[in-house]
Amino acid sequence: MADLSVKYAGMDFKNFLVGGSGPSYDTVEGCKAGADAGLAAFVLKSMTPAFLGRAGYQHAVPRFKTVNRLQPYRRWQPELGEENMDILSAGEVGSVWGEEGYIEFAHKVRQAVGHRAKIGISTFGIEFGPPRDFPPEEVYYRHFEVMKEILANGDADFIEMPLANICFDLMDMPKVIKKAKSMFAVPVTIKLSDPFFFPVVERAKLMQNAGVDALTLFDCSMVLDFDIETKQVPFRDTWHYAASGSTIPLVNACIAQCRLAGVTLPITGSFGVWEWPHVIKLIMSGADAVQMCRKVMVRGFGVVPEWLETINKWLDDHNIKSITELKGSILERLDARYRRMVREEPLERGGVPSLKPVVDLARCQGCTHWCLPSCGYFAIRAKDGKIEIDEGKCAVCGTCEGTCPFGVISYQPRTPQETEAFRQRYRR
């Protein structure tokens, strides 16, 4: 059995799976179920600010919808596979407990869970913004007073501050972080949102320089999709938020960019963790831990021990003794590929490609359905029921090779003799 434990912001996590702040952790029963399932930690639903009044508890009904991520305005069907499942949400506000009930709620959770899992408490993400005369940082400061009492009772192990509102001035965030660090002895973490709005590396470095203990990348992001014929949208008259499996490559890239740029903070990967390989990919990209939220909402807490068992077996099969061996293991390859990428003078500029296209006539179906339209250089033509490639036009771009489902086209290095023959034939 591999060692699944990780160090995170000075805390000892028994494994790498963390329950992301959401409805699953807004009840004592949900938190206990998460700990029973084997989560290393979880974050309670974000606190609702008092300034919202009763509006803070008026959630959209319904506020979640499980859909086909390929066409989010349509119902998901089992035959599509779980990888094409997504759960969209209308704008949420925060925990049903609010400021006045959050202290008691956290205490009940600690009593139910004990120390079987680390407990995080979450400030409001200021997603909808405070009133105009109410500075955003004041929301954090008010919540810090609530958190101070929770921590004094020993009912939480770390703090998470969602930074969801794109209107919040990022340059104000360092002073908020320094305020938190001066008040609390536990780790202070930031959960960034909307990777499309701000340069991620710059944000991560800003948080690191301000002294935050860890980062989570990312929360959900605002999206919009609809049927062009009926104008049907997932939720009537509103934007919606999504985090599906299709966003994992984006998170991988953001985490890898942060690591390559020198961000050393512990990072939790999140934002669309739908399958156990997503966990492996996030850690290989440089994450220390992984938050899962919507998958649990759809499939229940049974997915936690299932993933832990499956990942443990995968590690054993690959002779990996500890999950920490995987951290950032893809980065060296990425960096090497970037620096060693083969670049040549284009064919159109008189260059001679170092590779030549090769057609496997035995495999060729003669359909021309895939390769012919994919060639932007018009180098492919049909001939005698097969295809033929004009080397004088082929730029070795690679499009047709990947497009052909029969593996007909490949590339091989030119020999010096072939390179000279090419020059003579096409006068290069």
CA–chain centroid gap for 68, Å, is: 19
Is 1 inside a domain boundary? no
Q: Does one domain contain both 84 and 172?
A: yes
Q: How confident is the model at residue 416 (pLDDT cuts 50, 70, 90)?
A: very high
Is 195 inside a domain boundary? yes
Q: Does one domain contain both 280 and 325?
A: yes
Q: Which of 308, 334, 360 is the last residue of a domain?
A: 334
Rounded Cα distance, 137 and 135, in Å: 6
Contact 268, 214 (CB under 8 A): yes
Q: Does one domain contain both 354 and 311?
A: no
Q: Does one domain contain both 145 and 124?
A: yes
Please give the pLDDT value at position 91.
63
Q: How confident is the model at residue 134 (pLDDT cuts 50, 70, 90)?
A: low
* Range in 54-68, 340-354, 375-389 the model is least confident about: 54-68
User: What radius of gyration, in Å, describes the C-alpha atoms of the chain?
Assistant: 26
Q: Does one domain contain both 397 and 276?
A: no
Q: How confident is the model at residue 6 (pLDDT cuts 50, 70, 90)?
A: very high
- The CA–CA distances, whole Å, from 168 to 211, 220, 234, 412 equal 19, 17, 27, 53
Q: Which of 300, 334, 368 is the last residue of a domain?
A: 334
* Residue 305: domain span: 6-334
CATH no. for residue 198? 3.20.20.70
Is 133 inside a domain boundary? yes
Please give the pLDDT value at position 173.
80
Is residue 109 scored above 80 in pLDDT?
yes
User: Tens of pLDDT along 289-310?
Assistant: 999 998 898 889 999 999 999 9
**Percent of the chain topping pLDDT 90:** 58
Q: Does one domain contain both 267 and 375?
A: no
Q: How confident is the model at residue 188 (pLDDT cuts 50, 70, 90)?
A: very high
How many CB atoms lie under 10 A from the CB of residue 334? 17
Please give the pLDDT value at position 427.
72
Q: Does one domain contain both 52 and 165?
A: yes
- Choice between 334 and 382, residue whose per-residue pLDDT is larger: 382
- The CA–CA distances, whole Å, from 41 to 15, 198, 323 equal 9, 28, 17
Question: What is the residue-averaged pLDDT of the chain?
Answer: 86
Q: Does one domain contain both 414 and 315?
A: no
Please give the pLDDT value at position 167.
46
Nearest residue to 42 (alpha-carbon basis) of 112, 92, 101:
112
Please give the pLDDT value at position 160.
94
**Percent of the chain topping pLDDT 70:** 87
Is residue 20 scored above 60 in pLDDT?
yes
Q: Does one domain contain both 326 and 349?
A: no
Q: Does one domain contain both 238 and 352?
A: no
Give the tokens for residue 127. Answer: 């997603």
User: Tens of pLDDT along 36-59?
Assistant: 999 999 999 888 777 666 655 566
pTM for this model (two decimals): 0.85
Is residue 278 scored above 50 in pLDDT?
yes
- Peptide bond before residue 218 is cis, with ω within 30 degrees of 0: yes
Q: Which residues pair with 389 in a beta bridge?
A: 380
- What is the count of structural domains for the chain? 2
User: Tens of pLDDT along 388-412?
Assistant: 999 999 999 999 999 999 999 999 9
Give the tokens for residue 55. Answer: 């509006």
Rounded Cα distance, 187 and 7, in Å: 12
Q: Does one domain contain both 227 and 356?
A: no
Is 243 inside a domain boundary? yes
Q: Does one domain contain both 127 and 255?
A: yes
Q: How confident is the model at residue 223 (pLDDT cuts 50, 70, 90)?
A: confident
Please give the pLDDT value at position 407.
94
* Burial class for 332, CB neighbours closer than 10 Å (0-12, 13-18, 19+): exposed
Please give the pLDDT value at position 166.
45
Contact 160, 189 (CB under 8 A): yes
User: Tens of pLDDT along 199-221?
Assistant: 889 889 999 999 999 999 988 77
Q: Which of 309, 334, 359 is the last residue of a domain?
A: 334
CATH no. for residue 365? 3.30.70.20
User: Tens of pLDDT along 141-170?
Assistant: 888 999 999 999 999 999 998 875 444 556
Is 205 inside a domain boundary? yes
> Can you tell me which residue has the tokens 């192990």?
157
